[in-house]
Structure 1
Amino acid sequence: MAVIVVTGTGTEIGKTVLTAALAAVGVSQGRSVAVVKPAQTGVAPGEDGDVDVVRRLAGRVTGVELGRFPEPLAPATAARRAGLAPVRPRQVAEAAGKLAAEHDLVLVEGAGGLLVRLDDEGATLADVAAELGAPVLVVAPAGLGTLNMTALTAEALRARDLEQLGVVVGSWPADPDLAARCNLADLPDAAGAPLLGAVPAGAGALAPEEFRARAEGWLAPRLGGRWDARAFAAALG
């Protein structure tokens, strides 16, 4: 997998930290890694965006941000309100393709969910994945409501003949409730794809050295780590 598209079932659910974990594992295994953020919203010029967070946590990573819009809105809306040109799927695919020619792994991190609009013509991250022919990794929250959102995202991927690599819980709580524990078993059924990891809540606040040392333990072997879904569920009791 030279390119992986990272999306979520919504916003603020751990996509950036999960992307950093994927990058950290790749770097630790001697792979060259690049991260593409098609559209960064809600960040002013000069402020750190998601690419900066990934580089801080993961280490030697090439980071590319294609568009930055100051208001915390969907990319199409934020671009329109800022009077700036939106980012188009073809731009993202070309940037990721060039990086893939020079790197072992390229991670494309979307904004919000799969069908959030990039432009006023209705292009989305799904169109980016189609342009690239790349698998999509879905990041989902742990608790109540996640099964519906995950199933809807999976249905949208299937409707577009896009490959879903799997699902990762983006922020696993330190004290999971009943819904979160049950969702470990139910998420693969809702997604029609395997559960490939669980990133602990607060992981993004770890010191970079600790983050990099622990990242393999949050991701399944398919993603380069050593996380095991059965062992993780069994440890919860």
Structure 2
Amino acid sequence: MTVIVVSGSGTEIGKTIVTAAVAAVATAQGRSVAVLKPAQTGLEPGERGDADEVVRLSGAGTSAELARFPEPLAPATAARRAGMAPVGPQEVAEAAAKLATEHDLVLVEGAGGLLVRFDEDGGTLADVARLLDAPVLVVVPAGLGTLNTTQLTAEALAARGIEQLGVVVGSWPTAPDLASCCNLAELPEMAGAPLLGAVPEGAGGLDPASFRARAGEWLAPALGGVWDAEGFTASAARP
């Protein structure tokens, strides 16, 4: 695959760190990787954004950001309140397609969930994936409530005819509770797609060298790693 769209079933659940892990594995395999953040919100000019953080952790060669809005809101709302032009799905798709002509892999990291609005026309990350005919990797939380939001995201993708590549737990707790352990076995069914990884809590705090060395341990072979979903799920199961 040349382009993977990375979305979440919600916000603040580890999309950037999962994107960095995927980028780190691909970079270690000798692939040229570009990371595209269509709209960065909640940061002022000069502050390091999500795409920059992915590059710092992973060693990927290219980061790109199409728009930045100061308030931590949905991109469409943030653009309107700032009096700035929004970025729409067509612009995002064109930027990703251009990067794909120059790189082996392009990772497009969304803002929040799949249907967060980019513009006043209702454009979303799902529209970007559809325009690119690209699969979507869904990042999900581990705990209570994740089965519902995972299934809702899967149904939204299926209704639009968009391929779901799989799901990755964005922050696997150091001390997982019962719900988190039970959810591992059910996530593939709710998603209708395979479980492709679990990134440990706090992984984003590792130094870049350690992050790159360990990234493959957190991702399944479909994403270039060695993580074993069946074994991980079995080891986390509680009687």
Which residue identity does 1:144 align to in structure 2?
Answer: L
CA distance in 2 between counterparts of 1:41 and 1:98 reads 23
Q: Indicate conservation of the 8 Å contact 2:37/2:108, yes or no.
A: yes
Aligned residue runs from structure 1 range 167-182, under 5 A: 167-182=167-182
Aligned to 2:199, the other structure's residue is in SS state strand
Q: Once the 2 structures are TM-superposed, how far is the Cα of residue 91 of structure 1 from its aligned partner?
A: 0.8
- CA–CA distance in 1 between the matches of 2:114 and 2:164? 12
Q: Deviations over 1:108-163 (max 9, x none)?
A: 00000000000011000000001100000000000000000000000000010000
Q: Could you give the per-residue CA deviations for residues 82-114 of structure 1, whole angstroms, max 9, x where no partner exists?
A: 111000111111111111111110000000000
Measured against aligned partners, the alpha-carbon deviations of 1:34-56 in whole angstroms (never above 9, x if no partner) come to: 00000000011111110111011
Is 2:63 aligned against 1:63? yes
Map of 2:83 onto structure 1: 83
Structure-1 residue corresponding to 2:151: 151
User: Displacement, 1:60?
Assistant: 3.4
TM-score by length of 2: 0.98
Q: In angstroms, what is the RMSD of aligned CA positions?
A: 0.7
CA contact (8 A) 1:23 1:61 kept: no
CA distance in 1 between counterparts of 2:23 and 2:97 reads 17
One-letter code aligned to 2:185:
A
> Contact between 2:24 and 2:58, CA under 8 Å: does it hold in 1?
yes
Deviation (angstroms), 1:231: 1.2
Q: Who is 1:48 aligned against?
A: 48
In structure 2, the partner of 1:109 is 109
1:48 counterpart letter in structure 2: R
Q: In 2, Cα distance between the equivalents of 1:9 and 1:230?
A: 22
Q: Deviations over 1:13-61 (max 9, x none)?
A: 0000000000000000000000000000001111111011101100132
Please give the alpha-carbon distance, in whole angstroms, between the structure 2 residues aligned to 1:51 and 1:85.
Answer: 20
User: What is the alpha-carbon distance in structure 2 between the residues aligned to residue 46 and residue 114 of structure 1?
Assistant: 27
Aligned to 1:139: 139
Q: Does 1:236 align with 2:236?
A: yes
The CA distance in 1 between the partners of 2:161 and 2:61, in whole Å, is: 30
Which residue is equivalent to 2:30? 30
Residue 233 of structure 1, CA deviation: 1.9
Distance 2:236 2:152 in 1: 28
Q: Residue type matched to 1:18 in 2?
A: V
Question: What is the CA distance between 1:235 and its match in structure 2?
Answer: 2.6
Give 1:120's aligned amino acid. E
Number of residue equivalences: 237
- Aligned-partner SS, 2:171: strand
Q: In 1, distance between residues paired with 2:64 and 2:174?
A: 33
Q: Deviations over 1:184-229 (max 9, x none)?
A: 0000010011000000010000010000000000000000101011
| 1:62-101 C-alpha deviation (Å, 9 max, x unpaired) | 0000000000000000000011100011111111111111
- State, as a whole percentage, how many aligned pairs show the same letter: 73
Asked if the contact 1:18–1:170 (Cα under 8 Å) also holds between the matched residues in 2, the reply is yes
Please state how far the C-alpha of 1:236 moved relative to its aligned partner.
2.7
Q: In 1, Cα distance between the equivalents of 2:236 and 2:158?
A: 32
DSSP-derived class of the 2:47 partner? coil
TM-score, normalization by structure 1: 0.99
Residue 128 of structure 2 aligns with an amino acid whose one-letter code is V
Q: What displacement does 1:230 show?
A: 1.2
Q: Which residue of 1 aligns with 2:21?
A: 21
Q: Which structure 2 segments of 5+ residues have no match?
A: none
